[in-house]
Structure 1
């Protein structure tokens, strides 16, 4: 995490995941720590948790544990993509 902004230092992997979610290709697997799937494949768990915890992506709706729901990029996530 960046010490001054509490935002993760975005790697090319983070940015690719954000772009995929922005393009509507992401799903979240609901749970105490959501998992992210892009095109039906699980993404890096650590990077996923960093993006969720930083508020860059969210679940489109709440759901019971184990349910897949759409993942959405937040305004902060869109801003991170424009800066990158």
Structure 2
């Protein structure tokens, strides 16, 4: 897991928490916020690889789906874990 998150990475997590983000189904998923591609895809890849965000639904390769925070993503934002 990432030990220190940049301000941009935290903003990406907040966008996911607010329901404003989508991911592609991929081993290195791309992120878009409010329908626009995220300006830092390497950071989006790291958030997914480090288990802070994930796709909400199982979709076909390359398709978009809503992004959601994992328990570790919630913890990174100081939010309570999901029950």
> Contact between 1:28 and 1:68, CA under 8 Å: does it hold in 2?
yes
Normalising to structure 2: TM-score of the pair? 0.85
Structure 1's consecutive aligned runs of 4 or more residues displaced over 6 angstroms after TM superposition are: none
Gaps of 5+ in 1: 1-5
Aligned to 1:34: 29
Whether 1:58 aligns to 2:37 is no
> Contact between 2:14 and 2:77, CA under 8 Å: does it hold in 1?
yes
Gaps of 5+ in 2: none
Q: What SS does structure 2 have at the residue aligned with 1:61?
A: coil
Normalising to structure 1: TM-score of the pair? 0.84
RMSD: 1.5
User: How far 1:9 sits from its partner (Å)?
Assistant: 2.3
Distance 1:24 1:74 in 2: 13
User: How far 1:20 sits from its partner (Å)?
Assistant: 0.4
